[in-house]
Structure 1
Amino acid sequence: MNQLDALKKFTTVVADTSDIESICKYNPEDATTNPSLILQAVNSSINNHFIDKAVKYAKKKGGLYKDQIINASDKILVDLGIEILKYIPGYISSEVDARLSFSTEKCILKAKKIINLYEEQGISRSRILIKLAATWECIKAAAELKKDNILCNLTLLFSFAQARVCAEAAVFLISPFVGRIYDWYVSQKLISESSVEKDPGVMSVCKIYDYYKKYNYKTIIMGASFRNIQQILDLSGCDRLTISPILLKELESNNKCLERKLIPPTTFLTPPMPLSQEEFRWEHNQDAMAVQKLSEGIRNFAKDQLSLEKIISKKI
């Protein structure tokens, strides 16, 4: 048995790609996208029809020029999601514009718009995860959206404070970014690039996993952003792992024994009192890596969103 098949016995494998060919090849349960992956997809000539269809939709809908660009962008996001859903049995994660990450109200409105676009084409909201950056405002938005049976994937998660507040808000799923945490520690020369022991990204997810399971929180943990298969192997047993096609291929071609590393307890403790907003902001602020990587992630996703909108604007 190869390591990919072995991993699937302990962990739900999610494809971190918008590439249909890769999804068909590795048969993941779910798939997740982000603005960077959407931009890659639309830059491929084989996906030109998604842009043309979205522009046609936006023009028919009308409104101001800037509104047409946004409507076309949302349409591409949903149409790509619908295409991916043809090849997976589970969820597709579709991301809210990162520029809305500090407004609970705007995130809620955008999430409902995305869900409506899916439902207009016959896709149930039960197959969609709305991706939001793990800011205080987005976590609160996720809690409100859950009341309307809209489930969320809280992404760009780097600090334990973010993870704790997500669990306390009973959000559906979190995506702690293993590789980006690792990158920061390497860039600060706090660990060497060749180091495989005590990987700070892996240790972060292990801490979250132990905490969630100890207190019996139901929020799903989906490790993300991997740099090598060792990080994946060290997290075997995590609820879910979202993995790029390159690393899926490496796992599939490797037949070495895979041992489950994360195992839930059989007894549980009473959860502590939830963090207040002030406590959350202070705890998160104490983690320099998390502060830097969260803001950087939001900026980069916003940059890719703008690049997508520039492509659309030329068509409109």
Structure 2
Amino acid sequence: MKFFIDTADLDEIAEAKGWGCLAGVTTNPTLYAKTGGKLQDFEPHMLKIAKLCEGLPVSAESTATDTEGMIEEGKRLAALAPNIVVKLPVCEAGLAACRALADAGIRVNMTLVFSAAQALLAANAGARYISPFVGRFDDIAEDGISQLGDVIACIGNYDWSGKNVDGEVEIITASVRTPNHVVQAALMGADIATVPMAALKKCVRHPLTDQGLASFEADWAKVVAGA
């Protein structure tokens, strides 16, 4: 399973990329707002991310609410850099825009997916990536991992050749809160997990690793002291 980072923060992206295991970036209006970015700087900021992650897919989300607006903004975003993927919400307008963008050879990440039915519609509309949310189900005491499993199974049942520019659909596990979400998604065969920096760092850490490192350092200090 590939790791994307879910952020619009350039420093976080650079740090995660430096670990050598980053395969892409996803952003959304909320994440951009957290950087303190201004409206006029949105597209230049997406371009900065795309250049920082050259060769890796970077999802930039349209903020339009109607089909024509999504198509227009999507084409503009896709023209910024070859690795930018247009992110659209799964809704009537989003599905129609997805089809138009896919027909124009533009990769689309369909987001805010909460059911297998929505995922199937998105794939048929030409989505290159589908982002089912996990953590938000937990927020309402429902099982997001189970819903993710349904999406993976349904999408995996079919050949999506001819539906989008690459002829394949990848599942991006989104709204990831914990390392357990990552592990469960991988066990189910999700293609990608997009993870915020805080959760990504939790995936790196383990108390037994910390204990082992402390022990090694203490033992080596004794060796140095006796030299």
Structure-2-length-normalised TM-score = 0.79
The alpha carbon displacement at 1:105 in A equals 2.0
What is residue 41 of structure 2 aligned with on the other side? 76
Cα-to-partner distance string for 1:14-47 (whole Å, 9 max, x where unaligned): 000112222122222111111111111126xxxx
Q: Helix, strand or coil for the counterpart of 2:52?
A: coil
The alpha carbon displacement at 1:233 in A equals 0.7
Alignment counterpart, residue 182 of structure 1, candidates 123, 138, 144: 138
The alpha carbon displacement at 1:136 in A equals 2.1
Identity of aligned residues (%): 27
Contact preservation (8 Å) 2:78, 2:85: no
Contact preservation (8 Å) 2:177, 2:195: no
Matches within 5 A, 1:165-244: 165-184=121-140, 186=141, 200-217=143-160, 218-236=168-186, 237-244=189-196
The alpha carbon displacement at 1:255 in A equals 8.5
Q: Helix, strand or coil for the counterpart of 2:111?
A: strand
1:114 aligned to 2:77? yes
Structure 1: which amino acid aligns with 2:96? K
Structure in which a larger fraction of residues adopt helix = 1
Structure-1-length-normalised TM-score = 0.58
Alignment counterpart, residue 205 of structure 2, candidates 246, 249, 253: 253
Partners of 1:112 and 1:232 in 2: CA distance: 32
Contact preservation (8 Å) 1:77, 1:94: no
Structure 1: which amino acid aligns with 2:179? I
Contact preservation (8 Å) 1:34, 1:94: yes
Matches within 5 A, 1:1-316: 11-27=1-17, 28-42=22-36, 51=38, 73=39, 75-88=40-53, 89-97=55-63, 99-100=64-65, 103-116=66-79, 118=80, 123-124=81-82, 127-184=83-140, 186=141, 200-217=143-160, 218-236=168-186, 237-254=189-206
Structure 1: which amino acid aligns with 2:131? S
Partners of 1:78 and 1:34 in 2: CA distance: 12
Partners of 1:235 and 1:216 in 2: CA distance: 21
Between the two proteins, the alignment pairs up a number of residues equal to 194
Contact preservation (8 Å) 1:157, 1:163: yes
Structure 2: which amino acid aligns with 1:106? G
Q: Helix, strand or coil for the counterpart of 1:29?
A: strand
Structure in which a larger fraction of residues adopt strand = 2
Aligned Cα root-mean-square deviation (Å): 1.9
Partners of 1:208 and 1:23 in 2: CA distance: 28
Q: Which has the bigger relative contact order, CA under 8 A and spacing at least 6?
A: 1
Question: Structure 2 regions of 5+ residues with no counterpart?
Answer: 161-167, 209-227
Cα-to-partner distance string for 1:50-106 (whole Å, 9 max, x where unaligned): x4xxxxxxxxxxxxxxxxxxxxx2x42221112122332301111111x51xx2222
Give structure 1 regions of 4+ aligned residues with deviation exceeding 3 angstroms.
none
Partners of 1:39 and 1:205 in 2: CA distance: 28
Question: Structure 1 regions of 5+ residues with no counterpart?
Answer: 1-10, 44-50, 52-72, 192-199, 257-316
